Structure 1
Amino acid sequence: MSGSAERTWFGQPRGLAILFLTQMWEMFSYYGMRTLLVYYMTRQLLFAQEKASFIYGLYTALAYFTPILGGAIADRWLGKRNAVLLGGSIMAVGHFVMAFEPVFYLALAVIALGNGLFLPSLPSQINDLYREDDPRRGRAYNVYYVGLNIGGFMAPLVCGTLGELYGWHYGFGAAGVGMFAGLMIYVSGRRYLPAPPPRAAVAAPADPRRARADARRVWWLLLGVGVAATIFRGAYEQVGNTLPLWIDDSVARGFAGFTIPMTWFQSINPLLVIAMTPLLLMAWRRRAEAGRDLSPARRMAAGALVVAAAYLMLSLLSMATAGAPVSWLWLVAFFVVLTLGELYILPTGLGLFARLAPPRLGATTVASWFFATFAGSLLAGLVGMLFTRAGNAGFFLLLSGLAACAALLLWRLDRPIESLPKSST
């Protein structure tokens, strides 16, 4: 624990607020661009829906594949702080370049490259803010997740509105400004962040053979959780892929004589994250005090099942309306259910990977969690290609099935994870 952790803001180390705000602006830039991406390709570049969905999936997959290399580079050479600064600067350049159509593909590649250094290096600093026995550490990732979603909430309202109503290039440019703001916050608050750990050798375990066996077991279980997260992401990532197309074509967006812009609905999910997280943390704290807290894998499984129920609701709704436009209030109800499930699975998974990280491999292990996001995003791109062919009801039923499969796998992994030696968890 760094000395800065002794001084708190709202009961948490000040460094968490710096990481919170930095990631908030990075998410503003990412979601601002993501909100417009498929819409921009199909409306401005006139790509076919299948091609736009595939490019979206490939881009988001690359953005979560590069952290595997970036995490290793941060742990071995650059250090987490330098990786954040270099990666964030590269991403800011990429967002500004998005404003120029001839270099569209180059801009996507530049953003993905910078993200590889930035993404694993920032959240992997959270653990270093706390002692191992600090009870605040488990809740820190949900608090951090709120920061992500404040940025995600603002992005469609700012970048989406600018891009949809005033010009695509204004929306992409605003995303670049957001990334730059995050870097400035990180630089100004570096004194509150954990100091880089010394490069001293890690003490040798008393039983090296057993330690190696335990380490292999941990990695195999993390692989299993990663596979479940990949399947889950194949369904969840449709929120930024095919769902905007469904909203644009199949949702009645009128309200008091005003047509609600499609991109505004992308703010519902992060707004609900902000509103629901304090209530969930309160409920989880009470369950823990009563000895009824769910283990991480069971909590994630419950979240995947709730997301499956959200997509099942859209499937049944599409069957009932037979293609007629549905009220936007149904869309709000969908996001309420989806967000509840998301809060159970995604912050919990990130925290699980961070807690199981071997010494001096924090960024690399966190990058392994984002590798599941890479694979899931690629799967989402492939699944999204079925949107037009399967029809709304069939497509949403498929997504519900994917999330349910992820829940089953996570439930089966619960006992092996809970049987790990306490020193590993």
Structure 2
Amino acid sequence: MDSHQKRKIVQSVPQKGFFGQPKGLFTLFFTEFWERFSYYGMRAILLYYMYYEVTKGGLGLDQGTAASIMAIYGSLVYMSGIIGGWLADRLLGTSKTVFYGGVLIMLGHIVLALPAGVSALFISMALIVIGTGLLKPNVSSIVGDLYSDEDPRRDSGFSIFYMGINAGALIAPLIVGTVGQQYNFHLGFSLAAVGMLLGLIVFMITKKKNLGLAGTYVPNPLTGEEKKKVFSRLGIGALLIVILGAVSISTGLLTIDRFIFMVSILGIVIPAVYFLVMYRSSKTTEVERSRLLAYIPLFIAAMMFWAIQEQGSIILARYADERTQLSFAGMELQSSWFQSLNPLFIVALAPVFAWLWVKLGNRQPTTPRKFSLGLLFAGLSFIVMIVPAYVNGTETLVNPMWLVLSFFLVVLGELCLSPVGLSATTKLAPSAFTAQTMSLWFLTNASAQAINAQIVRFYAPETEIIYFGVIGGISIILGLILYFVSPKIHGMMKGVN
């Protein structure tokens, strides 16, 4: 997108009307609010649904397998952002891609709400994986379209948007988790479907008035000849995948463990290929190449951060269910409620961080140093989990405040890294790959969870100290390294702060 198109888009968006931000932020805030309600409501009970006994309404899967499936599911959700980014950049534009993604997500939750066992689980996963890949990177990309590159409200706008994401994630476990654990898992999943429906309604009713031209442009459209080639290749590729999948599953060649391992490899290979293609493209300028190189250490740092943060819904969820006192201060807690801690702290603290970055202005830490702080806090969130096991052993139930502290620390890191990473990605992206670079940002999470799929198998109560200590220690070391090399990285960003 050239500078003239960018100015035209910004001018078409009402620039005042939502907390001093462009009016379109209202539409995107509540679209993502309900999408995250549906996704995190489902995730709050999915692990338990997989490993609870059939007599308790679950599928009765092995705990280690269930944990790996959770990680690989999350990896595929973010990995599929490649599809969404490509469709938006080359074919549909971000607005249409967001709508189609929301429809697929809703259908996925409807399938999961049906009591059809493991088959429904995997069909639902496929629909939600593709749908989230279409919606999530593109709704964030539209947020970037609302602002000029020089607009000082940009970082605070992304922080407000991020607060909307987490407001949906906050109430989801309390509602969906309670219904799912106390009454019926499938009823809980049906509430997730309703949440996505509400998000689609908000988007369709308000987008024309609030978004203007944002999301309507196709930055790098396919020519007529390219469309023919792409569609024929996609059709042949999809057919081959279906045939190979059917044959390999029926013959026993493709098992769950082998599929998980394959996705773990893809989690490393795909972003490496992505960087290479964009760097070597003739459409990428020399300045943009320098910015891409600066983006690599930020990508690695974000990947390490998400490897810890995403274990909140896997390892810490299991910890809450098996190792934590669920009777506290006269209340009976549901283990799924702990999934609300992360978004609760973000909703409470996001305005503080948004105000802080604006208040500091040019004196605020550079983007690489904010990332390094994120790694330090993430590492500490795992280190503190060593203490109860070291003091009282692993045979006794733990005070729930240890989990509260762990989630609080990782949120401090998340607010240093995640909204800042979203904003930096829109500014560092080559102009020919805007939506696809946003997809690359979400690949940090995909890669992290692809690696987690192998790591989470090593967790057990008897390995707690080593497990939390090693992972937390690695994050702290990487954070310190990033802090000291940040001036070099900042110079390669060529004027982007």
Do the aligned residues in 2 keep the contact of 1:229 with 1:406 (CA within 8 Å)? no
Could you tell me which residue of structure 2 aligns to residue 327 of structure 1?
399
The question of whether the paired residues in 2 share the 8 Å contact of 1:32 and 1:175 is answered with yes
State the match for 2:37 in structure 1.
28
State the partner residue of 2:108.
Answer: 94
Q: Distance in 2 between matches of 1:139 and 1:150?
A: 16
Q: Give the 3 Å change call, closer, same or farther, for CA 86–405 of structure 1 in structure 2.
A: farther
- The change in CA–CA distance for 1:88 and 1:200 in structure 2 (over 3 A counts) is closer
Tell me, yes or no, if the aligned pair for 1:42 and 1:52 is still in contact at 8 Å: yes
Per-residue deviation at 1:283?
A: 2.6
Taking structure 1 as the reference length, the TM-score comes to: 0.93
User: Hey, what's the Cα distance between the residues in 2 that align with 1:359 and 1:413?
Assistant: 27
Name which of 194, 203, 206 aligns with 1:177.
194
1:217-366 matches, within 5 Å, as 217-288=290-361, 291-323=362-394, 324-366=396-438
Q: CA deviation at 1:424?
A: 5.8
Question: How high is the sequence identity, in percent, across the aligned residues?
Answer: 31
Where structure 1 has 5 or more consecutive residues not aligned to the other structure, the ranges are 202-207
Q: Post-superposition shift, 1:352?
A: 1.1
Question: Structure 1 123/248 Cα, relative in aligned 2: closer, same or farther at 3 Å?
Answer: same
1:340 to 1:361, Cα distance in 2 relative to 1, 3 A: same
Counterpart of 1:326 in 2: which secondary structure? coil
Question: Residue type of the partner of 1:393?
Answer: I
What is the identity, as a one-letter code, of the residue corresponding to 1:3?
Answer: S
Structure 2 residue 154 is the aligned partner of structure 1 residue 157: no
- TM superposition shift of 1:257: 3.9
Equivalent position SS for 1:138: helix
Q: Which residue of 1 aligns with 2:244?
A: none
CA contact (8 A) 1:20 1:144 kept: yes
- Paired residue for 1:204? none
Number of aligned positions between the proteins: 417
Displacement of 1:390 in angstroms is: 5.8
Deviation at 1:320?
Answer: 1.0
Structure 1 distance, partners of 2:283, 2:144, is: 25
* Cα distance per residue 1:290-349 (max 9 Å; x no partner): x53100110111111012112111112221121222212222222222211111111111
1: CA distance, partners of 2:390 / 2:198: 45
- Residue 62 (structure 1) shift: 0.6
Amino acid corresponding to residue 325 of structure 2 in structure 1: A
Where 2:291 maps in the other structure, the secondary structure is helix
Q: Which residue identity does 1:173 align to in structure 2?
A: S
> Judging changes above 3 Å, is the alpha-carbon distance between structure 1 residues 412 and 90 closer, same or farther for their aligned structure 2 residues?
farther
- Distance in 1 separating the partners of 2:321 and 2:493: 50
Aligned to 1:188: 205
| Distance verdict in 2 for CA 1:211–1:33, change over 3 Å | closer
SS of 2:385's partner is helix
TM normalised by structure 2 equals 0.80
Pairwise CA RMSD of aligned residues?
A: 2.2
For residues 308 and 369 of structure 1, the distance between their equivalents in structure 2, rounded to whole angstroms, comes to 21
- Which whole-Å CA distance do the structure 2 matches of 1:182 and 1:403 have between them? 36
1:131 shift after superposition: 1.8
Q: Report the more deviating stretch, 394-403 or 138-147.
A: 394-403
Amino acid in structure 1 at the alignment position of 2:38: S
Deviations 1:142-191 (A, max 9, x none): 11110010011011011111110110001111111111111111111112
Which residue of structure 2 aligns with residue 60 of structure 1? 74
Cα pair 1:30 1:175 within 8 Å, conserved: yes
Matched letter for residue 277 of structure 1: A
